[in-house]
Each structure stands twice: as structure tokens, then as C-alpha cells.
Structure 1
Amino acid sequence: MRPEGQGRRAGIAAEGRGGDSRYKQELSRSISVLGNIVVTLSGTTPAASVFVIAPVALFIAGSGSFLAFVLAAVVGLLMAFCWAELGNSYPIAGGDYALVWHSFKGRTSPLAGPLSFITFALYVDFMAFIPATIALGAGTYFGVVANVDPRYVGAVIMVIAAAFATRKIRFNTVVTSIFLGIELAALLILTVLGLSHARNWGSLVHPVVAGGHGLTPVAFSVTAAAAAIAIFSYAGYQSAVNYSEETKDPRRNVARAILWALAITVAAELIPFTAVIVGAPSLAKLTSSAVPFQYFIEATSNSVVYDVVSIGIVLAILNAVIAQVLGFGRILYSSGRDRAWPGPVSLWVAAVHPRFRSPWVATVLLGVVGVVMCLTVSLTTLANLTGASLVADYALIAVAAIAARLTRATAHASYKMPLWPLPPLLALASLGYVFTQQTRLLIEVTLITMGIGLVYWAMVILPQRGRAWNLREAPVDEPAASSVENARPAR
């Protein structure tokens, strides 16, 4: 073993014993707030969300999926305030689980370990399910190029995305910005086609779905159930926190990145999706079609336009998977340095590429898991399972945002959410209702995941008495540290 490898492992071991109050700056802090927004938006993947995830909501709730997406946008705004305040205070690559941990101080500190590990357990599901969900959607649109099994298309996209994601973060920022432009162009085409054929405005407030020999009304409970899928569709704006250790001046820029990413995501998804609903020649055909956007585009233009858009969507999906693997790779890397895994596995997962300064082992591992998911699990199953778990994760962050103020964990934050505690309280009420409208199976899967996380913490983490899962403060921002050093008087 090389000497630097031995030093690296010794350093992690020392940190695990609480020998350092801050994480070491290992990742490449080289992107601006704009770069953070671009790679975060690529992870929320507006085009892939509209073309891959929204059809699931259309099938369930018909035109009621519009209200589902509006409800999800409201929940998103409330949650963005929570993430912005927490992420501004604790700009750590571990994201949600680190935010939950640091929110519980003083008398509430015994809750930090179990609640943060439950949050991490939910993210283990996300790491396995979300990139594969997006990648599988490419098969539907790749059919205009060649008739290939969608499972294999998804698997290939996972491999390519993982290969890109192991490179430097600045390289991936450039790549994702180019692809992001392509997917926004595809969404603009949808918007123009829909609004130029607008006719179904009434269906937005009186939702209907295909049923029997025509259209049937949609109950609000069905719309609320579809809101979980809509929340999944918007999800990703909070990933700005995961890139905070690679963002310059994160204590000022992470909150900005979260809020701007949400605003752009909602506009980029809700506007074209609404345009499709109001512009569809037949809502019955739109909401019953296996490929609703193919029906819509060909009915309002022609097959050539659909072929062009489909190629753009395949590229958008590749872009989305790259960004998803980038974000989840940072979380998995962070879990390794926090020693979430048995012995040497944590050291392995926390490995950083010496040249690219990227968490390359964690990234490759996510690629392998994604390939397996693509080849063995259906798109609909993955989308539904992820939606219910996301609701639980959002609820934990809302609780953390309340606790952080009460324990003064965010007293040093330069950004404070408006109207506290209304945003997290309203978010919890909305999320609670949406969660109760899920099927029993989806609720059970989510609760089982949380239970496994709690049992693992109690049986594996707790007995180590601080040697594992003893989270630290964010790394010192290099530019900020330099400024402080320059400000010191010369001796």
C-alpha cells in the first residue's frame, strides 16, 4: 500500500474517534453558485421528470395531476425554506442526514443519532431507486432510434453516467449545462404545442381521467395520492447542499442555489405539463395512453417532431442520471467518512480520486446498483416506492427545521426562513395528508425502511460509543479561510 493511502486511512480512523471537529476538505472546491444551480437542476431533471415521471401521475389522476403538481410546488416552497436555512448553517456533502444530526443540540442531542440514521436509511433507497427510475425512462424514447429492450438502454445509461460522474466536478458542470439546454428546448416545444392548441382549461379545476367509455371525475384523495409522485418529480433542488463542499463560499451560496433551483424546476415542469393537459385533443386518449406525450406531440404536430424531441429526452435522461449519481455519490462518500458501514467498507466508500478529487468508489458502486435495478425492477414500481419515501424524508427535514431554531443550532445562519415556524408546520400537515393517501404497500415499505435504519443504528452504531456516526462540522471554506488569514496582522 502506498504511504499516502496509509495516511488517508489513519486520518479517517482519527476523525472517527472524534479527534477533529471539522471534516477535511478533500473534494475540489471549484464551482460557483451558478455551477451549483446548473448541476442541481440537472439532477431535478425537468424534462425527464415531465416525460418519465409525470405520465405515472397522469395515469392515476388524469388532469387532476395538475393540482397534484401545484400542491407539490407549495410543499416544495415550504421545504426549500427549511433546506435553505439548514444548508446555510451546515454545508456538508452528506446533505439531509447531516442536517438532521446537527439540528438536535443540548437536551435533544440523544435524538440526533437515531433520526439522522433513519434519514440516511431512506437515502439508501433513493440511491438505489432514483437514478434507475430516470434511466429506465430512456427506453421509451430511445425507440425512435432503435428497438431495444428499455432495461438494457437504462443499464447502458447508468454505466455511462457513472463514468462521467467520476470525473472532476467542474467537468461535469460543463457537461450537464450543455445537456440542460437541450432538455429545456424540448420542454419549450411542449409548451408551444400545448398553448397553441389550448382547449381544456376547465379540466384543471374539474379533473377527469379516462374511464369506461369516456371521462370520469377524479376525487381529491386520488389527486393527493398523485402528489407524492409530483413531489418526486420536483425532488432534487435540495441537492445543492450535497455539492456545498465543492461550492465557493457555501454559507452564502447554498441557500441561494436551493431557492433558485426550486423556482426554475417548478416553472420548467409545471408550465409545459399544464400546456399538454390543456392542449390535448382528447383527454381520454392522453390519460389512457401508454406513452401520453407521444400521443400529444403527434396529435398536435407530426411524428418527425416527436422523433426529434425523443432524442432530446434521451440526452436529458442521461444528463439527469449523471447529476443524480454525482449527488448521491457525495452522500455515500460522506457516509463512509462518518463510518456508517462495517470497518473497512467505510474506508473504501470514502475513497477520493487523487487526480479528479471526486468520490470515485462511491460513484462506481452507485452505477453498479443502478444497472441491477434497471435489469430487475419495473419503472412504475420504482417511481411509486420512491415517492412515498421522499414524503417521509421531507417530514424529517421539516422536524429538523423546527428543532434547529429551538436548540439554536442555526443561530449563526446568515439566511433565516420567513415566517418561522409556519413553513415547516404547514409542510408537515401537507406531507402527513399526502402520506396517508398512499397505498398500504407503499406506506409499509417506507416504514420498514425507517425501521431497518433504526435497528441498524441501535445494534451496530450505538454500541461503538462515538467511534462511528459521530458527525462533525463542515470543512473550512478555502476562500473564507484565506481571507481570515490575510486579515491577521503580520507578526
Structure 2
Amino acid sequence: MDEAKSLERTLGPVAVALLTLSVLSPAASVFVTGADVVHQAGTGAALAFVVGGLLTLIFTFAQAELGSSFPFAGGDYATVGQVLGAQWGVVQFALDLLSTPVFIALTASGIALYLGGVVPGLPPIPTAIAALVLATAGAVINIRTGAVVTGIFLAIELGALALVTVLGFAEPARGLEVIVALPIRFADGVALPLTLGVAAGAVSAASWAVSGAGQAIYFGEELRDPARVGRLVVRITLLSLVAMILPMLALIVGGRDLPATLAAESPFAALIAQHASPALATAIGLGIAAAIFNAVMAAVICYGRWLWSSGRDAIWAAPVNRALVRLHPRFGSPWVASVLVGATAMAFTLLGLRALVLLAAANGIVNWALLNWAGLVGRRRGLTGQAGTYRAPLFPLTNVVSLIAATGLAVLTWQDADGRRGEVMLAVIMVAALLYHRFVLLRRAGGWQMVGPKTAG
């Protein structure tokens, strides 16, 4: 039976870093999610990315320690389940089940925004679905080949971010003080002060956009010396912070007509049009679209491993589990799981960009709370932080700060009507997951527990 098969350890740290950076995609985070944060928070968007980025770095320490001790393809749900118990692993899996297609659909939805300069009037949803079809086909290939392809696209992506940063700072229209002095947003051209609820939602969305380095853990079963994955997660987070915050600052500083720039469907495309020649603007737009496509393909590669792991852990009904653990006979990739991830993301593109960002932001708050709770429990029980694995600095301070920050963001987000709907939906999902564990999984003959890779002690 296919459960006996394992993923092959063929990746070094550079390949995993390239794949992970491609999945979290600084370009997609800035040009797609960042654009929505700009619409929410106006000039406060840059500050939201600074604050959200720093919070993400603090949050990530626990995730890195957990992943170093349990470098399983299941990622967060596997690490949480190993430390807090299977029921909380199922809760995290249910949250991932929502966030995974949301993340991929959100990323794919940005392609039409930046191809619009080349093909005006390009419909966003059909374009996103077409990109997902191509990306899913590419995700089935050998993972080492995938790492090379995504690495090439990643170079284009970082180049586009650098160009946008240079354009904004080369001819500044205002100083950096506008970002921190009195953040404002615009509604119908009228400047309004930023409320706490909106600011909290923007910080949550920005934090979620910057996060993603932990996706390196999904490749833990294909990484040689998997205990190194914790340090990789932290280094990728630091690199992402720099790559995302600088373009956000450049947008606010460099936008000539600030209300029009911030209100544009694509604020960054507006900034590029203001500062670059039509030919350069077209080239940058194509580079951004290519980068976003790369992120979509890398995400399907990554989350195909996650869904494959859920089949190995027998979370689903037996026929579904058997299908999910099938590996491609030639490429050794979890092809059924990858195709299902891509197909689900296609369905989620129908929700629209705004709904996807709100769901992602609320999910991020709960995810960080669970990971940092698991980090506290894991170290106290001696399950994490062992010799040879990554140890989170300043333990337990960073975990406590993370839990307080997540609680504060949840309370403030509740004050916003849209944020409240997202949190209610997540609460329902968590309760449903606990009930599924109690009344479905535990009632199976012999009970149920997470499996994990055979090589993982």
C-alpha cells in the first residue's frame, strides 16, 4: 500500500530556501495582499507592515523550534499535534484546510492586476483559474527541478521589488514622517483617521503576508539534515521582512497624488506608472505577474506535501487517505494531493480578493496563538529544544509576548465588522474540528493517532 512510501531526502538548505521564498512570495505579499492593506489602512499600511513584520518574527521563533524538533511534511498541524495532543493537531489541520486554498487563491488573484497593463480588461477570476491550472501541472514535476524553476522566477521577483523600491525613493513626494505622524486612509477622496479596529485588521493582514517562512517545514521530509530547518525558517523570515517593508515605504513616500495612488485598484501599478516609462512599466508588470505565478506553483508544490501528510495520518475516510498518499511513479511527487490543492484553490478564487484577505488575517492570529502555546508546552515537557535542534531565543519571553499580541489583535479585530465575521467563522471551524476528532476519529477501531514519518523517531 502507498502509505509505506516516503518522500526522498534530495534537497539541501539552499533548495528549500528557494522553494520557501517562492511560496511566501515577497512580491505577491506586497503587490497583492499589500495592495489590500493599503486600501484598508491608507498611509498606515507601511507602518502595519513594520509592526506586523516584527510580530511575525517574534511569532516565528516558536514555529522554528517546533519544526526543528518535528520536521514533518504536515507542517504546523503535525508539530502542534505532537506537542499539544492529536485533538489540537486536528484543529490546526482544519485551520490549515481553510488557509491553504485561501492563500493560493489570494496569490493567483493578483496576476490579472499586473497583466492589465499588457492585456487591458483581463478578467481576474478566469485569469487566476488559468494560472492555477498551469501551476498545478508544474507542481507534479520532480521537486529538484521545481526548485530550479522557482529559483529562476524568484530572481525576477526580487528584481521587481528592488525596482519598485528604487522608483519610490528616487523621487520622493514626502518624507517618512507621514507614515508615523498621523496615519490616514481615504474614502471617496476624503482623509479619515485610522481607527484601532481597522489598524488591527491591517496589522493582522500584514503579519500574515510577511509570515510563511515556516512553510520550509513542509519540505522537512525531503531535506537532508532536517533539524536545520528551524534556523532556515528564522533566516527566511528576516530576508522577507526587508524585501517587503522597503517597497511598502516606497509607495507611501513616492506616490505623487497620494489619494489617487492609494485608491487605485493596484496602488503599486499606479506608482510604477507615475515614475517609469511605459516600456519599463510594462516590463515591471510582466515581472510581477511572473513572480506571482511562481508563487502559485511553489505553493501547490508545498501544500501538496501537507495534504499528502494528512492522508498518511489517516485524517480522512480510508478511500480518500489511500488516494492522497499516492506518489507519482516517475517524479515521486504526491500528485493526487497536489491536484486537489490546486482544484480547491480554483474554487476559492470565486470569493474575491477582499474576502480572502479577511479570512487569511483572522486565521493567522489563531495559528500564531496555537504555535506559541505549543512552544511553551513543548519546551517545558522536553519535547523541543533538544541538543542539535533550534532553540527559540529569550524563552519563554517571546512566546508570552506572542500570546499577548495575538490576544490583543483578536480583541481589536473584533471591533471591526468584517474582522468579526472572520473570527466567528474560525471559531465555528475550531469547534467542528474538535467534534470531528471526538466523534469520528476516536471512534475508529483501535482509536486514532498521528503517524509522522518513520524516520522521525
1:159 paired residue number:
133
CA distance in structure 2 between the partners assigned to 1:466 and 1:447 by the alignment: 30
1:99 paired residue number:
79
1:419 paired residue number:
394
1:107 paired residue number:
none
Unaligned 5+ runs, structure 2:
414-418
Q: Is the 8 Å Cα contact of residues 28 and 358 (structure 1) preserved in structure 2?
A: no
CA distance in structure 2 between the partners assigned to 1:214 and 1:302 by the alignment: 30
Q: Which of 42, 54, 74 is residue 22 of structure 2 equivalent to? A: 42
> Where does structure 1 differ by over 4 angstroms across 4 or more consecutive aligned residues?
none
Q: Is the 8 Å Cα contact of residues 94 and 335 (structure 1) preserved in structure 2?
A: yes
Q: Is the 8 Å Cα contact of residues 85 and 413 (structure 1) preserved in structure 2?
A: no
The answer to whether the aligner puts 1:471 opposite 2:445 as a matched pair is no
Alignment of 1:58-457 (within 5 A): 58-104=38-84, 112-146=85-119, 147-198=121-172, 199-206=174-181, 207-211=183-187, 213-251=189-227, 253-374=228-349, 376-414=350-388, 415-438=390-413, 439-457=419-437
Q: Is the 8 Å Cα contact of residues 340 and 469 (structure 1) preserved in structure 2?
A: no
1:275-304 Cα distance to aligned partner (Å, 9 max, x none):
111111122122222221122111122333
**Structure having the higher Rg:** 1
* Partner-residue secondary structure (3-state), 1:464: coil
CA distance in structure 2 between the partners assigned to 1:212 and 1:95 by the alignment: 43
1:461 paired residue number:
441
User: Shift of residue 324 of structure 1?
Assistant: 1.0
Q: Is the 8 Å Cα contact of residues 97 and 120 (structure 1) preserved in structure 2?
A: yes
CA distance in structure 2 between the partners assigned to 1:466 and 1:93 by the alignment: 24
1:108 paired residue number:
none
* Partner-residue secondary structure (3-state), 1:437: helix
Paired amino acid for 1:70: V
CA distance in structure 2 between the partners assigned to 1:467 and 1:344 by the alignment: 18
CA distance in structure 2 between the partners assigned to 1:183 and 1:215 by the alignment: 33
CA distance in structure 1 between the partners assigned to 2:403 and 2:20 by the alignment: 24
CA distance in structure 2 between the partners assigned to 1:275 and 1:429 by the alignment: 31
How many residues are paired up? 448
Paired amino acid for 2:109: L
CA distance in structure 2 between the partners assigned to 1:212 and 1:47 by the alignment: 28
CA distance in structure 1 between the partners assigned to 2:453 and 2:377 by the alignment: 18
CA distance in structure 2 between the partners assigned to 1:303 and 1:385 by the alignment: 36
Unaligned 5+ runs, structure 1:
1-6, 13-23, 105-111, 478-491
In structure 2, relative to structure 1, the CA distance for the partners of 1:213 and 1:51 (3 Å cut) is closer
Q: Is the 8 Å Cα contact of residues 99 and 359 (structure 2) preserved in structure 1?
A: no
Two-structure CA RMSD over aligned residues (Å): 1.7
User: Identical aligned pairs, as a percentage?
Assistant: 33
CA distance in structure 2 between the partners assigned to 1:265 and 1:470 by the alignment: 32
* Partner-residue secondary structure (3-state), 2:185: strand
TM-score by length of 1: 0.88
User: Shift of residue 212 of structure 1?
Assistant: 5.5
Paired amino acid for 1:133: L
* Partner-residue secondary structure (3-state), 2:186: strand
User: Shift of residue 128 of structure 1?
Assistant: 2.0
TM-score by length of 2: 0.94
Paired amino acid for 2:298: A
1:454-487 Cα distance to aligned partner (Å, 9 max, x none):
111111111126553333466259xxxxxxxxxx
CA distance in structure 1 between the partners assigned to 2:168 and 2:446 by the alignment: 57
User: Shift of residue 86 of structure 1?
Assistant: 0.9
User: Shift of residue 413 of structure 1?
Assistant: 4.5
Q: Is the 8 Å Cα contact of residues 65 and 385 (structure 2) preserved in structure 1?
A: no
User: Shift of residue 436 of structure 1?
Assistant: 2.0
* Partner-residue secondary structure (3-state), 2:42: helix
